[in-house]
Structures are given as C-alpha cells and as structure tokens.
Chains A and B, each alone.
Chain A
Amino acid sequence: MTVAESIPTKLIVRIALLSLFAVLVQETVISKISIFGVDADITPLVVMSVGLLCGSLTGAITGFFIGLMVDTVLVQTLGITSLLYITIGYWTGRLRELRDPAHGLVPVACGAAATAVAGIGMTVIQFLLGVDAPVSLLLAQQIFLTILVNTLIALPVYAVVRRIINPALPDDPRRRRRRAYTTGGLSPLQSPSQRLTGPINRGTTPAGR
C-alpha cells in the first residue's frame, strides 16, 4: 500500500487547495495587518490543524508542501520553512495518534507550540546559516508576541480547517466511537437516570440479618 493509496484523493485535493489558499491569504493579506506590532502567521496553524485532524503522515507531507510554497512565493532560501513545518505536522499528528486528545482547547495549546517551533526554529536555522543578528530583546519580543497572537487565532483557524477537511476524512473507528459518545449511542454511561429508576440490586443480604 503506497502513501497515495492510504490518503483518499478527495482529502488530498482539499488539503492542496486549502494549503494554496492559506499561503496566498497569508502573504497577500494577513502579513499586511499588524496586531500588537507583529503579523499573525496562519501557515503553521494550518499545518498543525491538518496534523491534528489527519495524522502524522498527512501532517508531515502538508507541512513540507506549505513550507515549500512559502519559501517559493517569497523568494527565500528553499527548504528552511519546509523543515520546520514537517516537524510541526508530524508531531501534532503523532499527538493525535498516541493520545487522541478530545479537549476543545487542544488546538490552542498546539497552535502556541507550533508557532513557537516555527519562530525559535527559524532563529536557530538562521544562526546556523550565518546571519549576523545576535539574539536581541526585539527578536525575543517579536517571537513572544507572534506566539500570543497566533494562540488567539488558533481556534478559529482550526475550526475552518476542520470544516473543510472533515467531510473528506476516512471513517476512523475512534472518531465514530467519540461521535457515538457525544450523541448518546454507545456510551457505557448511557441514560444513567433510567437505570436508577429501576429496582436497585444491592445483592443478597446475609442470612440472619
């Protein structure tokens, strides 16, 4: 079974269009809007969302191509952003596969972590490549503020990505089970009040009591 076979075509098309749209919107619109003196960056958030929704393999591949698009569109050193976004996509995907977190605020935490990886990772790679810019207060401040802004927008970005990708996702048993819990279908805690209305079996009392 190849990678292409394991990922449905419909999902590939949706992720490809989503990636292209995200990069274009980021570079042409969002990067022109200054919030607290920094620009929000939705691209690591999109990679994080795809990883959380589709798993590590899809997350890593999406991260690679979004990173490549960002570097290409802005005529930057090819491969740097790809390398960082592969990490983000892969590890958010592994988080889903290993822990399957269901809490509603998981995208917020993952968004902050993804932005931190992108910001700090870019700093480290640039230093390794010999850019003459020591760590300054301004750089640390910019990274911190970008993490803050991205944390605020992580949930809406995740919701949009989920809305686009969800219809194309293969039916995962874990998702089905979670959906059944939330709709009251298969949960072992189903209608506990009904069980309480019947005779409560407290077991047999010891003889002589």
Chain B
Amino acid sequence: MHDKQVRRRRAVLAVLVVISLLLLTDYFGESTSSPLHRVQRGIVAVLSPIQSGASTVFSPVSDVANWVSTTLHAKTQRDQLKRQLQTADQQLATYKTEAIQNRYLSKQLGLAQSVGLDRYDPVGADVIARDPSLWYQTVEVGAGSGDGVSVNDPVTGDGGLVGKVTEVTGSTSIVTLLTNASSNDQFGVTATVTDSAGDTGVLEPAVGNPDQMVLQSLPNTAAIRPGMQVVTAGYKDPSNPELDSLYPPGVLIGTVASFNPNELLNSGQVPVTPTANVRNFTSVQILTKVGSGTERAQVTP
C-alpha cells in the first residue's frame, strides 16, 4: 500500500514536471500567433472583466498602502523638487521667449502648430495587473481593441513614455515597458540629440538594471550634460512611410542620469533615467493614431 502511494506520488510529480517543460519549450519557440498564444490571449480576455472588477474593488486598499509608502518618501522628494523648481524657473523664461519665436517661424514655414498628444487620440486606461518580479517588464491595462488600441501603439504614463502595446484583446492590452531587457520583447528607441549639434542615438534598456536605460550610438563629440531631458524625436521618411516613427515627437522619456566623457568617447553612450516610475504607475494613456515604423527620440538641453 505504502509503495503504491509512493509510486503514484512520483508519477504525478513526473507528469507535472514534464507538462511544464513541454509548455515552456513549446511556448518559447512559437510565434505570437501560435495556438498556445491564442489560447492564452483567450483566457486573458475571459478573465479581464474579473481582473478589472477586482482592481476597482480593491483600489481603496492599494491607494491607502501607496499613500503610506509615498508619504515616507515625501520629504526627500520635496527637497529634490525644490532644487529642480529653481532650475526650471530659470529655463521657463528662456523657453517662453523661444516658444513665441517658434510659433512665428512655424507659421511662416507652414508647419503644424500642435505639439500636444491630443491629436494622437489618446485613450486612458488603468493598470489592472502587474508582475511583481523584475523579469517580466509588462503590465496589463484596461483598454483593448474595442477602444481603438492596436499593437505597437505608444503608451505614456506618470509623466513620460513608458512603453508600447504588444498584445491586444477586446478589452485589455499588454504593455511592454521601455526598460524590458528580455531578449524576445526588447525594443530600442532611436534617439536624436537636439542640443546645439542635433546628434542621434538609440535608447535601449540598461542590461542588469531594469530602472535605467542607455542612450547609445551617440557621436563622440555630443555636448551632453546630466539632467538633460530625453524626448522622442518623431521621424518621417516621405519615401518610405513604413519607416515613420512609432512615437510622436516631443514625448518626454527621461533625463540624462550622469555624464562620463570617457564613456561617450569610447562607447558613445550615456545613462538615462526614465521620468516615469516604471515599477509603480497606475494609469496610462495609449496614443492610438500615430503611424508605424521605427522609433526615435532626442535629448533636449
């Protein structure tokens, strides 16, 4: 009797392990249109109303917990923000003057006046599910194809660009974050430095640090300073619209974290800290009317 129990226990364990390995192998080697992926998306579509409901019901609990957590950091943040505000005030006067000049010159050249995100039909959505580990840099949001969302739509949140839509169901979408370093889903953002020289680079996740990115392929002579803002450049190729940028110009991505002249000289790269806290934002805006193509960004002084 005891031997029988032991044999049965081992057999069940072996079966479970084999099923897990088969699923892993099959899923890893398949494309996103494979049967396993489709079944997974179907289950997500079925569960998403429950998840949305649970997220709404439990939102007071998470709000209270987040309030306690953020209050603990408030003092440090206040001091940092005071320093940033002083710098920003000085820059504001300069930018206001330049904005007037820009509007005047743009009108003369016949360029589009609107630089806001409203013209890209943004769709607001709450984050309804998130993976607690560092490994999967994806979140599930409560807006899907029924709301006009499609794959590759850019996603902003917490004051900056956070990623792009990689999976869509009727009422939910999976957003892969900019900081995702997974080899399957990683994507770079081509970057143009709009300082005095207008240099170009590619923004990619920093390997081993999911909270930071690296602006690569910059010219060795780029005049970059710590604290410079990194924004999407937007890119249009009239001869090949497929190369047009996924991202509209002027969307804030982050700031240059530090500057090491030797690093720029040897490898042409600078570290960038995303403006959005990619581990802790609760709502997003999905830009549904942008176009398709490669991604570009730029660093502004």
A residues in contact (CB < 8 Å) with B: 1, 3, 6, 24-35, 38-41, 56-57, 60-61, 64, 67-68, 72-80, 82-83, 86, 90, 119, 122-123, 126, 129-136, 138-139, 142, 146
Known: A74-B131, A74-B136, A142-B134. 11 other contacts (CB 8 A): A27-B51, A31-B132, A33-B69, A38-B132, A61-B12, A64-B19, A72-B40, A73-B47, A77-B24, A126-B182, A138-B208
Pick 21 A–B contacts, CB within 8 A, sort by A. A26-B132, A27-B131, A28-B55, A28-B128, A29-B55, A29-B58, A29-B61, A34-B66, A64-B19, A73-B51, A75-B140, A77-B27, A78-B24, A79-B19, A79-B20, A79-B25, A83-B21, A90-B13, A133-B207, A136-B209, A138-B208
Residues in A neighbouring B50, C-beta threshold 8 A: 24
Report the minimum CB–CB distance from A91 to chain B (whole Å).
11
| A119 vs B133: C-alpha distance when bound (angstroms) | 8
| B41-75 near A? 1/0 per residue, CB < 8 Å | 10110010011001100100110011001000000
| A130 vs B135: C-alpha distance when bound (angstroms) | 12
Task: Judge whether A136 and B208 touch: CB under 8 Å.
Answer: yes
Task: Judge whether B61 and A61 touch: CB under 8 Å.
Answer: no
**Known interface pairs A126-B135, A132-B181, A132-B186; A77-B208 also in contact (CB < 8 Å):** no
Residues in B neighbouring A32, C-beta threshold 8 A: 62, 66, 127, 130, 280, 282
**Known interface pairs A132-B186, A138-B208; A34-B20 also in contact (CB < 8 Å):** no
Interface of chain A: mostly helix, strand, loop or mixed:
helix
Report the minimum CB–CB distance from B93 to chain A (whole Å).
37
Task: Judge whether B207 and A132 touch: CB under 8 Å.
Answer: yes
Give the residue of B8, B17, B28, B183 whose beta carbon is less than 8 angstroms from that of A83.
Answer: B17
Residues in B neighbouring A72, C-beta threshold 8 A: 40, 43-44
B138 at the interface (CB under 8 A from A): yes
**Known interface pairs A28-B55, A29-B54, A34-B69; A76-B136 also in contact (CB < 8 Å):** yes
Residues in B neighbouring A33, C-beta threshold 8 A: 62, 65-66, 69
Task: Judge whether A82 and B23 touch: CB under 8 Å.
Answer: yes
Report the minimum CB–CB distance from B157 to chain A (whole Å).
13
Report the minimum CB–CB distance from A28 to chain B (whole Å).
4
B279 at the interface (CB under 8 A from A): yes
Residues in B neighbouring A83, C-beta threshold 8 A: 17, 20-21, 24
Task: Judge whether A28 and B16 touch: CB under 8 Å.
Answer: no
Task: Judge whether B24 and A79 touch: CB under 8 Å.
Answer: yes
Report the minimum CB–CB distance from A169 to chain B (whole Å).
17
Report the minimum CB–CB distance from B133 to chain A (whole Å).
6
Task: Judge whether B129 and A31 touch: CB under 8 Å.
Answer: yes
- The residue of chain A having its C-beta at the shortest distance from the C-beta of B32 within the complex is A75
Residues in B neighbouring A129, C-beta threshold 8 A: 28
Residues in B neighbouring A123, C-beta threshold 8 A: 135
- The residue of chain B having its C-beta at the shortest distance from the C-beta of A39 within the complex is B132
Give the residue of A30, A56, A78, A131 whose beta carbon is less than 8 angstroms from that of B182.
Answer: A131
B174 at the interface (CB under 8 A from A): yes
| A18 vs B36: C-alpha distance when bound (angstroms) | 25
> In this complex, which of B135, B183, B186 has the most chain A Cβ atoms within 10 angstroms of its Cβ?
B135
- The residue of chain A having its C-beta at the shortest distance from the C-beta of B4 within the complex is A1
Task: Judge whether B9 and A122 touch: CB under 8 Å.
Answer: no
| A202 vs B225: C-alpha distance when bound (angstroms) | 92
Give the residue of B20, B54, B135, B208 whose beta carbon is less than 8 angstroms from that of A28.
Answer: B54
B22 at the interface (CB under 8 A from A): yes
Residues in A neighbouring B131, C-beta threshold 8 A: 27, 31, 74, 76
Give the residue of A31, A86, A130 whose beta carbon is less than 8 angstroms from that of B20.
Answer: A86
- The residue of chain A having its C-beta at the shortest distance from the C-beta of B69 within the complex is A34
B195 at the interface (CB under 8 A from A): no
B158 at the interface (CB under 8 A from A): no
**Known interface pairs A28-B54, A32-B127, A35-B69; A134-B24 also in contact (CB < 8 Å):** no
Report the minimum CB–CB distance from A44 to chain B (whole Å).
10
| A159 vs B47: C-alpha distance when bound (angstroms) | 28
| A127 vs B25: C-alpha distance when bound (angstroms) | 15
Residues in A neighbouring B22, C-beta threshold 8 A: 79
Residues in B neighbouring A6, C-beta threshold 8 A: 8
B210 at the interface (CB under 8 A from A): yes
Report the minimum CB–CB distance from B177 to chain A (whole Å).
13
Task: Judge whether B66 and A73 touch: CB under 8 Å.
Answer: no
| A27 vs B55: C-alpha distance when bound (angstroms) | 9
Report the minimum CB–CB distance from A95 to chain B (whole Å).
14
Report the minimum CB–CB distance from A179 to chain B (whole Å).
24
